[in-house]
Amino acid sequence: MRTIPWDESLRVGIDTIDKQHQQLIEHLNLLMIALQENKGKSEIEKIIKFLDRYIALHFGFEENCMNAYQCPIACKNKDAHAYFRQTFEEIKGQFRQEGASLSLVLKVNQKLLDWFINHIRKIDMQLKPYTHS
């Protein structure tokens, strides 16, 4: 499974959000690699714990920004974040029940990492025009 690197095409233009996106992508990649290489449970749990905290921090900050800039897709963004949180909870539950598996690696890759990149490109980028007025 391939990792997805951060690149400038993912820059929204708000430094805090861009840095948070970089951190989330980096740690989603780390989670996928740790599962793929069947790293120890404690190492994987450490990455999951980081992601738990960081997802809450980032989504809250980003939702506040969209509201503050009166971005018309703020509600759509919040709904998308709720979907991601639910998917992340399901993946955590599967890991805690079954441990690392190819199925879990694929889910992290498709349902978290690919989803997050697409979310940045399709939803978060719509905030950009409102930050430069």
123 token code pair = 């939803």
DSSP 113: I
Cβ-defined contacts of 35-38 (< 8 Å, 24+): 35/95, 35/100, 35/101, 35/104, 35/105, 35/108, 36/1, 36/100, 36/105, 38/100
Residue 43 has pLDDT above 60, yes or no: yes
pLDDT of residue 82: 98
Structural domains in the chain, sorted by start: 15-131 (1.20.120.50)
Say how far apart CA 133 and CA 130 lie, in whole Å: 6
pLDDT of residue 130: 86
Q: Give 88-118 pLDDT, tens digit per residue.
A: 999 999 999 999 988 999 999 999 999 999 9
Residue 2: CB atoms within 10 A of its CB come to: 8
pLDDT bucket at 1, cuts 50 / 70 / 90: confident
pLDDT of residue 132: 73
Closest CA to 113 of 11, 56, 12, 33: 33
pLDDT of residue 75: 97
pLDDT of residue 2: 81
